[in-house]
Structure formats: structure tokens, C-alpha cells
Amino acid sequence: MKNVQQPKLPPKSSFSEWYHELLAAAEIMDIRYPVKGLYVWPPFGFALRKNIYSIIRELLDNDGHEEALFPLLIPENEFMKEAEHIKGFEDEVYWVTHGGVTPLEMKLALRPTSETAIYPMYKLWVRSHADMPLKLYQIVNTFRYETKHTRPLIRLREITSFKEAHTVHTDWDDAAKQVDRAIELYQEFYRRIAVPTIVSKRPEWDKFPGADYTLAVDTLMPDGRVLQIGTAHHLADKFAKTFEITYEDVDGEQVYAHQTCYGISERSVAAAISVHGDDRGLVLPPEIAPVQVVIVPIIFGNRDSNEAVLSACTSVRDVLTGHGLRVKVDDRDEHPGSKYYRWELKGVPIRIEIGPRDIAGNSVVMVRRDTAVKQSVPIDRIAGEVLDCMDIMLADMYTAASQKFDSRIFDCETLDEALELEVQGILRVCWCQDPHCGHEIEEVTGLRMLGIPVGAAGSGVATSGCCVVCGRDGVATLMARTY
Ligand code: 5CA
Ligand code: ZN
């Protein structure tokens, strides 16, 4: 039996090293592709991505969205129509200028996001109030020439898994409701992968280029920095005016539509990995784990008992597969210990060990990845026990992550207090909403303003008080180091 040497991960307390080593060791991302900011999904990572994105698809489809697909290339004249939008993206756009050796008559942008690809079509599709709300989404790659430090799954130049939804409404209020709904869907999505979130309204100076306002969903990474993992933007009638998206209202008048857009990327995968992982590797919520159960035969007896063990493993596998679970029997010629190590690294939620003694007792050993708790389970009840255990794991993982998250939100009444704290998380201070004071808070603390919390994030504390800069009346706002 082979005792395979296993690479050792850096401890999770060295988060950046841990993250990069884990992506390679668990085969989530291969970062050796020879273009900066572009990475490769190997099969295991791709399976994880597929499982996570099927939750998003399910949530959007069940909420009346339809999936569509628009081109990657955007002609320069369309891209250049909306002034603020251009300004926000001009430094980040990749341009296609040639077809072979022939210069193109009009340059083509690789979409950094798809407003300017989709809205010329919406101009043709939207006719009357009866067409609305129109709620489409696509999951595509987008390209941004990011100049900040690129990082796999977190800051990419090719965002491979950009889920963008674009909706059209009759009026401002209906669009505002859709922005709220989008945020609810994102929070629901993140609950399904046990990632705690906080929602805030981004300050004016950090909203999406061309938007009326932006709501953002953030989570906290283990190093105390905040990662923006989703945004929803109210576009009002700004793009509608630029792209002439009008409709006939109930009185037969042609009026401008109101729009929203909202997106998430593979940062959702980064969040799931980073929030739950531990020193031994990935810890995956059962619903998204590429392998949900691994069965390890414990073989050390004579040939007859070995055969009995292997056949018990196969029959347990068949029972679990019959319940729709993704199961693997690891019967390779290797020590059980090195098999445990490998599958822990890959975050398999449940391990089942079956040896001669278990068979004699008509039971198996079941081990949870998140708590390492072992329990003996009667073999004829295995499916029910595994399914129950998976539900409990998801709930426990969410509770544990939420407690950690909540313990890292700090309230401060003065800027001095904030400075002393050396925040490893999110700081809540009062702000008068004057941009001057906002910039001052950012400058003095060295933190970025996330914005005024929306929903539960604002409860449980003093949500009003005196601005920490000028002393005028203010409301709570969130500050953090960000990715
Ligand atoms: N058109 C809108 C809504 S789809 C839009 O582009 N919004 S965005 O710019 O805020 O991007 C949506 C989400 O994509 C962000 O909240 C962030 O989570 C993610 N994202 C943005 N840039 C990158 C990047 N370079 N790498 C990975 N994810 C990114
Ligand atoms: Zn102030």
C-alpha cells in the first residue's frame, strides 16, 4: 500500500499564501496561463463553478428572468454613446482593431459589461407597457484591463463567469423595486452557499458609471478585507434616453423606460472557498461540492473480508447515487490516511469509512468535513443519515460564518477611537452624507467607504448620531479595507 507524500498547505492565518496554494492543490484554478489576469478552470474547479452557478440560474429562472445571449464585440459607436459609462470604463476596455491584417472600419470593444451590447436590441424589442417588465440575464465572459493587482477569481482581466441581468420597467419606482428584489435574490444565493453578506448603498463617488445609485453586497474575507460580491444598479432613464428605449404607455404616449442591471462574478466562488476553508483545505457546503460523499474501504484483513468490504462500499455508493448524490469510492492502493488527506483538501463534505468490523456490526463510520465529528451509522439507514447531515452542515456552516462575521463589525463614535482599533473587519461610524466629510473619513482611517447599510446591516446599533468629522446629524455608514 502506498504512502503518498502530500504537499502541506500554509495555515489559513497566512491567508494570501493559503488561498493561492489551495487553488492549485485542490485543482480549482490553474494560474499558469501565460497572460496576466487570465486563469484556467480545470475540471474540479469547473464542477464547483457549475454547481454554484446552477443555484443562481435556478433563483433567477424561478423569479421570472429569462436567459439570453448577446455578442462579445461591441461597435465603438454604440460603446461611446453614454458619456458617464464611457468615462468609467475607458481605461479598462480591450479593443479589436484588425480583422487579420485589414484595419477594421470601426473598432470593436470586448465587452467589459454588456449595457451597450444589449440596449440597442432593447430599443427594438421594447414596444409597449405590455412588454414590461423585461427581465433577461446572461452568463458570459467579460474583459476588463484591470490595473490593480490581479488575483485569481477576485480581480480578473477576463471575468469568465459574469452573470449580468438587465431589466426594463415602466417607471422609476418599479425599477427601484427590482433593485431591491435583485439584492434579495443575491442574499438568498449567498445563504445557499453559507456566505454571510452585508448590503449597503455605495456613496456617489463609487457608484456604477451611468447609474442613479448602486446597492452592493459585500462579504468579509479571512484577512479582514471586504470583497464586493454583487451589485445592483438603478439606471433610471439614463440609458433609455441614450439608446432610445421608449414604449407606448397606457395613454398611447411614447415615454422612456427605466432600467436596472445587476451582476455577480466568480468572486462568489472565491467567497465560498475563503469563508469556509480551514488549515486542511476546502470545506464546501454540500449542495455545491463536486464530490459530496467519499467512501474509503478500510482493507487489512484476508481476501474474503476485503471483498466483503469492497462490495459493501459499492452497494452504499449505489444507494447514495440513487438519491441523486455525487459519490466516489476511493479504492486506490493507498493508505487510508493519505486518502483522507486528499479528500479533505478537496472539501468533500462527508466521508464514509467501511472496514471488516463495521460490516460485522452492519454499520459504517460517517465523518463530517466541517467539524471532523465521527459517528457510527447503521448501514440500512445511510441515505437518510447522509441527507440529514448535509442539511445540518449547511445550517451549521452558515451559523458559524455569520457569528464570525458579526463579531468583526465595530462601532466607533469618534475617528480617534476608529484609528486606535486598527480594524480587522468593518467599521461603523456616523456620517452626515456630505462627500467632503466622506472623503475625510476615508483619508484619515485609510479605509474605503462601503456606504450606508441597507436592511439588517443597519439594525442593532445607533443608526444615527453626530458625523465623526463635522458633528452635524448623521447616519451610520460602513468602512473597511477592500479588495
Ligand atoms: N453592468 C453592471 C451590472 S451586471 C456591472 O458591470 N456591475 S459591476 O461592475 O459592479 O460588476 C458586477 C460584479 O462583478 C461586481 O460587484 C464584482 O463582484 C464583480 N467584478 C467586477 N469586476 C471584476 C473583476 N475584475 N474580476 C472579478 N469580478 C469582478
Ligand atoms: Zn460631516
pLDDT at 456: 60
Q: What is the Cα–Cα distance from 342 to 1, expressed in whole angstroms?
A: 16
pLDDT surpasses 60 at 462? no
pLDDT surpasses 80 at 177? yes
Coarse DSSP helix, strand, coil percentages of the chain, rounded to the nearest 5 percent: 40, 30, 35
Q: Which residues pair with 297 in a beta bridge?
A: 354
- CA 54 centroid distance within chain: 13
Q: What is the Cα–Cα distance from 73 to 154, expressed in whole angstroms?
A: 24
Ligand 1 pocket mutation, candidates 39, 159, 167, criterion most atoms within 8 A of CB = 159
pLDDT at 288: 98
Q: What is the Cα–Cα distance from 116 to 125, expressed in whole angstroms?
A: 15
Ligand 1 neighbour 229 (Cβ under 6 A): yes
For 110, other C-beta atoms within 10 Å of its C-beta total 17
Q: Which three cell numbers stand for residue 249?
A: 404607455
pLDDT surpasses 50 at 430? yes
pLDDT surpasses 50 at 460? no
Q: Which three cell numbers stand for residue 135?
A: 427581465
Instruction: Residue 299: name the closest of 342, 344, 336 by CA.
Output: 336
Ligand 1 neighbour 208 (Cβ under 6 A): yes
pLDDT at 8: 85
Output DSSP code: residue 52. Answer: H
CA of 80 to the centre of ligand 1 (A): 20
Instruction: Residue 269: name the closest of 285, 291, 252 by CA.
Output: 285
Q: Which three cell numbers stand for residue 201?
A: 448603498
Ligand 1 neighbour 29 (Cβ under 6 A): no
Instruction: Residue 292: name the closest of 402, 394, 190 by CA.
Output: 394
Is the Cβ–Cβ distance between 366 and 286 less than 8 Å? no
* Ligand number, closest to the Cα atom of 147: 1
Q: What domains appear along the chain, each with residue ranges and CATH number? A: 15-276 (3.30.930.10), 286-404 (3.40.50.800), 409-480 (3.30.110.30)
Q: Which three cell numbers stand for residue 414?
A: 469618534
Instruction: Residue 120: name the closest of 263, 258, 244, 246 by CA.
Output: 244
CA of 389 to the centre of ligand 2 (A): 51
- Determine the average pLDDT of the residues in 399-408: 96
Instruction: Residue 21: name the closest of 42, 39, 7 by CA.
Output: 7
Measured on CA atoms in the order 7, 11, 14, 18, is the torsion positive or negative?
positive
Ligand 1 neighbour 183 (Cβ under 6 A): no
Q: What is the pLDDT of residues 126-170, one digit of tens each?
A: 999 999 999 999 999 999 999 999 999 999 999 999 999 999 999
* Ligand number, closest to the Cα atom of 430: 2
CA of 469 to the centre of ligand 2 (A): 5
Ligand 1 neighbour 182 (Cβ under 6 A): no
Please name the amino acid found at residue 274.
S
Q: Which three cell numbers stand for residue 321?
A: 447515487
For 427, other C-beta atoms within 10 Å of its C-beta total 23
CA of 141 to the centre of ligand 1 (A): 11
Is the Cβ–Cβ distance between 158 and 124 less than 8 Å? no
Please report the atom of ligand 1 found closest to the CA of residue 150. 25
Q: What is the Cα–Cα distance from 266 to 38, expressed in whole angstroms?
A: 13
Q: What is the Cα–Cα distance from 53 to 374, expressed in whole angstroms?
A: 31
Ligand 1 neighbour 144 (Cβ under 6 A): yes
Q: Which three cell numbers stand for residue 104?
A: 477594421
Ligand 1 neighbour 116 (Cβ under 6 A): no
Please report the atom of ligand 1 found closest to the CA of residue 228. 18
Q: What is the pLDDT of residues 81-129, one digit of tens each?
A: 988 888 899 999 999 999 999 999 999 999 999 999 999 999 999 999 9
pLDDT surpasses 70 at 459? no
pLDDT at 434: 97
pLDDT at 85: 87
Q: What is the pTM of this model?
A: 0.96
